[in-house]
Amino acid sequence: MNKRSSWSLPYLVFLILFVVLPLILIAVYAFQDSQGHFSFQNFVHFAQQPEAVSTFLYSIEIALITTILCIALGYPAAYILSTPSLNRSAVTIILFILPMWVNMLVRTLATVALFDFIHIPLGEGALIFGMVYNFLPFMIYPIYNTLLKMDNSYIEAAEDLGASPSQVFWKVTLPLSMPGVWSGVLMVFMPTISTFAISELLTMNKVKLFGTVIQENINNGLWNYGSALGLIMLVIIGITTAITNGKDKMDAEKGGII
Amino acid sequence: MANNDVIIKIEHLSKSFDDKKVLNDINLEVRRGEFVTLLGPSGCGKTTLLRILAGFIASDEGTVSLDGKDLLGVPPYRRPLNTVFQRYALFPHLDVYDNIAFGLKLQNVPEDEIDERVRKVLKMVVMSDYEERDVESLSGGQQQRVAIARALINQPKVLLLDEPLAALDLKMRKDMQIELKEMHRKLGITFIYVTHDQEEALTLSDTIVVMNGGKIQQIGTPADIYNEPVNSFVADFIGESNILNGTMLSDRRVNFIGHDFDCVDEGFGENVPVDVVIRPEDIYIMNNTEKTQFTGTVNSCTFKGVHYEMFVDTDEGFEMQIQDYNAFEPGSHVGLIIKPSDIQVMHKERTCNTIKGRVIDAGHVELMGTSFECDAHDFEPDSEVEARIDFDKIDLLDDKEDGTLTGEVGFILYKGDHYHLTICIDEKSANYLYVDTNDVWDKCDMVGVRILPEDIHLGRPKAAPLGKAEGLEAIP
């Protein structure tokens, strides 16, 4: 028993050093002024700066738009991939997942080069394109998985009870695949809200996202303020996770996932 | 059952999956209000037939009509049939009420009517007060009731049930059988029920359709099927039975297990080989060995609750299964009597293996895709021939490598003093060998098959082949 638990020791040390300690440091820095005294000064500063708040809201907006576009594009793709009559080849699914094998920065730089080549101006449009392009596989995969594992007898039962193919989709397939959609949302929304590399590259630093602001502050030695911003973002992500997890659990209880 | 009008008519229906025939020329009429059971071992095609009726799979050939109208061109959601699925298939994202109301909501039935009908059908399946419950929180039996309610609320013309009780425990299954029968009686809806459980079929049905190897073996009332099985497969599958080789001596006179018996069957001809079926409860057993038809020694005796089950070795060396309310000690010498009306005589499906083949040269013939040594000098090379091989002239070998052919043991029939096996050589082209052996094999054993050259008798193929290809095949 004791021997067993000692196996987890290295992981425990790792987690403390690289997850717990940094989190504590962020929290500590966030609640300190530049002299090292406890204060709410950083948060007050954030609230008083309309520019910072609007960047924050703008980031959420961009993340939401990206997530919605990913659902709109990813769901039909996942549906087609998981339907044997529509997709007979395993190659297609690999092609959809393949971009994930390439480093995100490389892909983004390639996108920049491509846009440059076909003379599309970089900016907000390019940013959203880049985000959707980068995160789409993260939406497709969980939905595809849920659809693939769905028991075909539910669809047969719905047809049997008089549901036309479109009614089968809206009343059975879609509700039963929602757990996959929620996992996808979690996997797209969270990273997009904190991303900064994509926005820097695809907008030539013209559009600032919250992630960019944090990075700039830290880079400029404003650790306390940067930590406070980081903490605010963590809380937002935490809330999103809690909401989607709650949804997930509800659906899982109804047998949606796995 | 008083009316004779046909609701479903199936004609010449066939279906293959990957070249394998799962349904072969099915013809069936179902009358309005009838409780019909499709009964057979797994893989016999019964579920495929049900799924074709429901519309989930398309047939290759044949027609199905409902009330005189073609059914096959109609998509499943427009068919006035509803299915109770084996594993219920209740929608996990909906509660009991919404599951049951699913069909009515699609038809835009007014809310208050839905309410009323859901309540009524829940009452019928004894599930009132469960409306709000999550379907996943229900027990297997309760889920089954909800599944039945969900199908019945749409007032289908025919209710299809795909082994609905298979997942329930024995006690629950018995209770549900009674309830299903009661529901059928009250509602007057036609039920088509699929099961592999012969007892369930006998309990529930007005008509049983026994299927095997994609073909209908027999259609009849439970009593007909039990008392008058048409072939050894049906006799073996339905209930316990002693199946024996016999010879019809003349009308109402049959010889089996080394004795002549009076029977009630006529019209078989004289000295014709037949199969004889005796149900274990139809053999009278007594201590008095004089004035009985034959005698034997009790081998084993097991208490089965209501009766004792005994195996008796007759003096002529046949093993008979007997059921009686009295126990007879193992080792005791007993007398046995069978009444003429309890002897069921059946035509033999075949008396030897008949295989179409092709002559290779004077010493070789190709059968079932393999070259066999045999005397073929009377035949031109490359000519078509028909080989006849007696059941007991085929050797089965443990080691597949030793045989000329490899096969899988399928249907096993005990004939009192030997086993009659169906060996599947090639499922796709329906090549079967029938073998009599004293050795014990298990179903699905892989065996080597050896046939000695002198046991292969060649003949010219008949113009109209009556051989095995057209016969009733017993497929595992």
Greater pLDDT, A236 or B82: B82
d(CA A41, CA B438): 96
Chain A residues inside the 8 Å CB shell of B83: 156-157, 160
Residues 170-199 in A contacting B (C-alpha not used; CB under 8 Å) = 171-172, 175-176, 178
Cβ <8 Å between B83 and A157 = yes
CATH of the domain at A219: 1.10.3720.10
Residue type, B305: G
Round to whole Å and give the CA distance between A229 and A42: 8
Instruction: Check whether A12 has a pLDDT greater than 70.
Output: yes
Contact status, residue B236 vs residue B276, Cβ threshold 8 Å: no
Mean local confidence (pLDDT), A18-47: 88
Domain match, B193 and B168 both? yes
Q: How far is CA B447 from CA A131, B154, B450, in A?
A: 62, 52, 10
Q: What does the pLDDT average to over A166-170?
A: 94
Residue A116 belongs to some domain of the structure:
yes
Q: Within this chain, do residues A141 and A82 fall inside the same structural domain, yes or no?
A: yes
Q: Is residue B129 part of a domain?
A: yes
Residue in this structure with the two tokens 């919404």, named with its chain if needed: B98
- In B101-206, at which residue ranges do the beta strands (DSSP E only) sit? 158-162, 190-195
What count of other Cβ atoms lies within 10 Å of the Cβ of residue A242? Answer: 10
User: What's the confidence (pLDDT) of residue A96?
Assistant: 78
Chain B hits for A153, Cβ within 8 Å: 85, 87, 89
Q: Are residues B116 and B195 in the same domain?
A: yes
One domain, residues A25 and A85: no
What pLDDT does residue A2 have? Answer: 62
Residue A109 has pLDDT above 50, yes or no: yes
Packed helices A174-194 and A210-219: angle between N→C axes, nearest 10 degrees? 30
Instruction: Give the pLDDT confidence score for residue B472 in this predicted structure.
Output: 43
Top residue of B51, B77, B108 to mutate, by most chain A CBs within 10 Å, is B77
Least confident of A143-157, A241-255, B407-421: A241-255
| Within-domain flag for B79 | yes
Token pair 């090639």 is found at: B426
What pTM, to 2 d.p., does this model score?
A: 0.79
Contact check, Cβ <8 Å, A153/B87: yes
Look at residue A161 and tell me if it is in a domain.
Answer: yes
The B residues from 209 to 228 touching A (CB cutoff 8 Å) are none
In a domain, A100, yes or no: yes
Residues of chain B with C-beta less than 8 angstroms from the C-beta of A253: 134, 136
Residue A47 is assigned to a structural domain of this protein: no
- Do B79 and B165 lie in one domain? The reply is yes
Cβ separation of A157 and B93 shorter than 8 Å? no
Same domain for A201 and A93? yes
Domain stop point among B233, B262, B285: B233
Residues B369 and B336 in one domain: no
Which of B331, B353, B336 lies closest to B281 in space, CA to CA? B336
Shared-domain flag, residues A21 and A131: no
At B425 the three-state DSSP class reads strand
Tell which of B233, B252, B273 closes a domain. Answer: B233
Q: Which residue of B has its CA nearest to A170?
A: B106
Contact between B85 and A255 using a beta-carbon 8 Å cutoff? no
pLDDT of residue A250: 55
**Pair A142, A233 in one domain:** yes
Residues of A in contact with B56 (CB under 8 A): 156, 159
Pick from B261, B256, B294: which is nearest to B276 by CA? B256
Residues B14, B54 within the same domain: yes
Q: Which of residues 232-291 of B touch A (CB under 8 A)?
A: none
In a domain, B384, yes or no: yes
**Distance of alpha carbon A78 from alpha carbon A169, whole angstroms:** 14
Let me know whether B373 and B391 are in one domain.
yes
Output the domain CATH number for residue B82.
Answer: 3.40.50.300
Scan for tokens 């427009």, then name that residue.
B78
For residues B265 and B227, state if they share a domain: no
Shortest distance between the Cα of A179 and any Cα of chain B, in A, equals: 11
* A·B CB contacts under 8 A: 73
Q: Please give the radius of gyration of chain B, using alpha carbons only, rounded to the nearest integer.
A: 26
Tell me the residues of chain B between 72 and 91 that have a Cβ less than 8 Å away from chain A: 75-78, 81-83, 85, 87, 89-91
Instruction: Measure A155 CA to nearest chain B CA, in Å.
Output: 9
Same domain as A155, residue A28: no
Shared domain for B45 and B92, answered yes or no, is yes
**A171 and A163 Cβ atoms separated by less than 8 Å:** yes
Say if B166 falls within a structural domain: yes
| Mutate: best of B106, B135, B136, B158, partner A, most A CBs <10 A | B106
Which residue of A161, A176, A178 is in closest CB contact with B150? A161
Examine the domain organization and report whether A7 and A74 are in the same domain: no
Does A157 score more than 50 pLDDT? yes
Distance from CA of A250 to the nearest CA of B (A): 10
Instruction: Supply the CATH number for residue B404's domain.
Output: 2.40.50.140
Q: What is the pLDDT along chain B (476 residues), one digit of tens a residue?
A: 444 689 999 999 999 988 888 999 999 999 999 999 999 998 889 999 999 999 999 999 999 999 989 999 899 999 999 999 988 899 999 999 999 999 999 999 999 999 999 999 999 888 888 988 999 899 888 999 999 999 999 999 999 999 999 888 888 889 899 999 999 999 999 999 999 999 999 999 999 999 998 999 999 999 999 988 998 889 989 888 999 999 999 999 999 999 999 999 888 889 999 999 999 999 999 998 888 999 999 999 999 989 999 999 999 999 999 999 999 999 999 999 999 999 999 988 888 898 888 898 888 898 888 888 888 888 888 888 888 899 988 888 888 887 888 888 888 888 888 999 988 887 767 788 899 998 888 888 888 888 888 888 888 887 544 444 444 444 43
B122, B250: one domain: no
pLDDT tens figures, B59-109: 999 999 999 899 998 999 999 999 999 888 999 999 999 999 999 999 999
Is B169 part of a structural domain of the chain? yes
- Measured in whole angstroms, the distance separating CA A36 from the mean position of its chain's CA atoms is 34
Residue A26 shares a structural domain with residue A95: no
CB atoms under 10 Å from CB of A61, counted, come to: 11
Q: What is the pLDDT of residue B463?
A: 57
Are both A108 and A20 inside the same structural domain? no
What pLDDT does residue A207 have?
Answer: 81
**B141 and B174 housed in the same domain:** yes
pLDDT of residue A92: 79
**A45 belongs to a structural domain:** no
Distance from CA of A172 to the nearest CA of B (A): 8
Whether chain B has a CB inside 8 Å of the CB on A255: the answer is yes
Which residues in chain A have Cβ-Cβ distances shorter than 8 Å to B55? Answer: 159
Q: Within this chain, do residues B402 and B439 fall inside the same structural domain, yes or no? A: yes
The answer to whether position B464 is within a domain reads: no
Question: What total of structural domains would you count in chain B?
Answer: 3
Confidence band (pLDDT; 50, 70, 90) for A36?
Answer: confident
Residue A3 structural domain: 1-40
B457 near B385, Cβ under 8 Å?
no
Q: Do A251 and B93 touch (CB under 8 A)?
A: yes
B259 within a domain of the structure (yes/no):
yes
Q: What is the pLDDT of residue B13?
A: 94
pLDDT band (50, 70, 90) for residue A160: very high
Q: Give residue B465's pLDDT.
A: 45
Q: Are residues A127 and A18 in the same domain?
A: no
Residue A51 — pLDDT band, cuts 50, 70, 90?
A: confident
Could you tell me if A154 and A205 lie in one domain?
A: yes
Same domain flag for A16 and A56: no
Answer whether A74's CB lies under 8 Å from A66's CB: no
Widest Cα–Cα separation across chain B:
85
Q: Would you call B76 and A251 a contact, using CB atoms and an 8 Å cutoff?
A: no
pLDDT of residue A246: 72
Q: Which domain holds residue B446?
A: 353-459
To the nearest whole Å, the CA of B38 is away from the closest chain A CA by: 20
Task: Assess whether B382 and B359 both reside in one domain.
Answer: yes
Contact B106 A163 (CB under 8 A): yes
The structural domain count of chain A equals: 2
Evaluate whether residue B301 is within a structural domain: yes
